[in-house]
A and B are shown apart, each in its own frame.
Chain A
C-alpha cells in the first residue's frame, strides 16, 4: 500500500511533479547527449587512428623507434608480408620505409616524416587514395614523386608539379638530398599529422637510404577490431625479436582518451544530476510541509519511521523515474537523427576539431552500454534527494504535526 500511496501522492500536485519530471528529462537528455557526442567523436577518432593513421598493428625493429635510424630495418622482407597476409583475421598488410627529413622549398623548410610506401597495398591499409584532393598520387613507373598534405602545401606554397628537396641521413650517416616533384596533395581530418607526413615510393626512399629492398615498418589492418589482441599475440610469437605494437600502444593518447572520457562524462552527468537533486529536494520538502498534519496522523496511528522513510523515498524515486523514460527517449530520437545526418562542427567551430585530430563531422551515438550506469546515477540522485526530506518527515512529532 505504501507503493500505491507514494505513487498517488506525487500526483496530488500534478504541475509541480510534471515540472520536476521535465527537469529530470532535460537533465538526463543533456547528460546523455554530451555522452553521445563524445562517444561519436571518440569512435570516429579511433576509427581514424586505425583506418587512416596507424592501422591495428605495426611491426618494427626494436631499436628503430628510438631514433628512427635507417639501419634498423625488418629482416623478413616480402616473405613476412605474405605470411601475415595469409592469416584469416587480416584484411590488409603493407610495408613502409620511414625516415625523418628536412623538406625545403623556395618558401622555406620544415621537418617532416618521409613515408616510403607501396602505393597499392598502402591504399588498402590507410586509404591514402581516398584522401587525395589534388593530383594523381604516386605513379609506380616514375621516380621521385611525392605526396604532401594540403596543410604543408599551403605552408610551403606547393602545388602539384612543384619541386622540393628532402634532406636526411642514410645508413652510413651521410647527408643525402634529393629533389621530388609533388604529384598529389592529400588531406585528412588530423591536421597536425598531415603537416608532419609526406609520402614517396618505397623504392625511391630505400635507394636513397641505402637499405636495398628492406623496410622499417609493417602495418597490419584487421577484419575485426576484436581480434586485435589475438593477432598481436600470434605475431609476437611468430617474430620474437620484433616489436609488435597495437594502435593502443602506438597512439597511447587515443587509448587514454577512450579510457578517461567515460569518467569525465559521468562526472558531467553527476553534476547535472546534483543540480537537479536540489530541485527534487525542494519539491519533496514542500510536499512534506504541506502534509505535516497527515504525516503526524500516520505516525500517531502507528506508521513507524522506516515506513515513513520508505514512503518519502518511493515518492522521490517515482518523481525522478517519471522523467527518465522521456529523457532516454528524446536522447535516443535525437542521436538516431544526428547519427544518420551528422553534426558539422566546421560551420561554427572552423578547423578547431581537425587541429586536435578529430573529424569536424560528429555522428553522435546513443550510449546504450552506459545506460545501466546512467540509471544508477539517476537512482543515486533520487536516494540523495530523499535523505533530507525523509529525515525531516521522520523528525515530525505527532502532537505538534497534528496541531498544524
Chain B
C-alpha cells in the first residue's frame, strides 16, 4: 500500500510533458533548435512567438505529425516515442488545430467517433458516444447537439467538438493552437472558462497563441519562442506583456500605436444604403450607410463572415453591389471595376494578400506593378519599362524595410509580414485619397505589425481617409479614430475608441442591440 502511494506521488510529481533537446530542420531551415520544456500536470502552459518561430512545428512533433531529428519526449516521466498521431492519442495527447480537422458534412457524433469507434459496426459506437457525450457536457459545460451537422453550427461550437473529440479519446494533455483566432470575445471567454475547468480536473493544457493578453489572462507558465529557439520560460505572474513582446521580437516593441488625435476634414467616401448579394444569392451586406472623412481612420469591427469582406470588396471594385457610393462628392458606379476605383484615388490592401494582393509565383517587382502597370511611369511607348519598375520596387522595399530587399525574389519566398509590406507599399505609395485596408496584420509578426500600423497612421496624418476592416479587436481599438461594428450585414453601432471597451464592442459583434449593450 505504502509503496503504491509513494509511486503515485512520484507520478504526480513528474511533469506531464517534458521535451529534451528537440531539433527539427526542413532542408536548410532550422524550425526547432534544441528545445527543452517541462509542463507540470494540472497547469496551463502558454507558448508564444511570432509566425515562423517554430511553435506549430514543435506541437506537430508532439502530436506525431513530424519526427524530430534529435531529442526526447517524456510523458508523465516516461520516455515516449511518438511516430504518428495514433501514438500521440494513446499517450493521452489531444490536439485542437487552428484550422479544425472536422468533416464538414458529418454530424457532431460522427466526427467524435471517427477513428475511435468500438467495433466494425457503427450502431454500438454511436450509442456509446451519445451517452458519454452527455456526461462530458455535464462535467465541463461543453454542450453541443450531437446530431447537428458541422457545417451548420458556428465556429465556437465546432471548436467545442474538437475539444470533445480529444476528451472522448481520454486525452490528459490538450494542445490548442491559436484557439481564439475565430472566436468573438464572448466565445473566447467561454473557452477560457472551459479550459479553467479542465485544469481544475487535473488536465494539462498547452496554449499556443500570439496574443499576449490571452497568455496573461489564463496561463500559469509561459515559454517564448523566437526563430526556432526557446528564448525563455517564465511564470506568468512574474512577467509583463512588454517583457514577453521583447523576448519574442528580440528588441523593444511599442505595443500601443503612437498617434496624435485625428483632425478629420471633409467626407471623402460616402456610402448610402449599400446592399451586396453574393454568388450563392445570400444578401451579405444589408443596407449599410457610412462615411469616412479625410484624415481619419474608420475601423470596422466584427467577427469574420458578417459582411465586412463583401463591403470592402465592393468599395475596392472587386465585386458589385447596389446603393449610392460617393467619392469626394462624385457619384461612383457600384459595379465591379477596380480600375475606375483606382482612378478615383482609392487604394486597396485586400484581406487575403496571398489570393488577392499578390501573385505568389511572380517576382516582387512584377507584383508591385499590379493595378498600376499602365501608369506612365512604368511605361515606355507600348512596352513596359521593367527597369524603371525594378528600380521603383527596390526603392519601395528600402522605404518599407522589406527583407530581403530583392526585387527578383518571388512573392511566395517572402515571410508573411514582408509579403504584406510589399502590398502596403504598393498601395500607400499611390498617395490615395482613400485607403481600404483589410486585415492588415493577419499572419504578420509583431515587428512588422508595428511598422504597418505606423505607415497607416502616417497616411492618415497626411490627410487621407482610411477604412480599416479587421477581426482583431486590439487592432481596431488602437488604430481607429471611429469604430463601426458589423453584424449580419448591418452596422450595429458606432463608437469612439476612448469611450468604449472590448466588452461593449464584443456584445455588438455578437449582434446584441444597442439597448442591451
Genuine A/B complex:
no
B residues contacting A by CB (< 8 A) are none
A residues contacting B by CB (< 8 A) are none
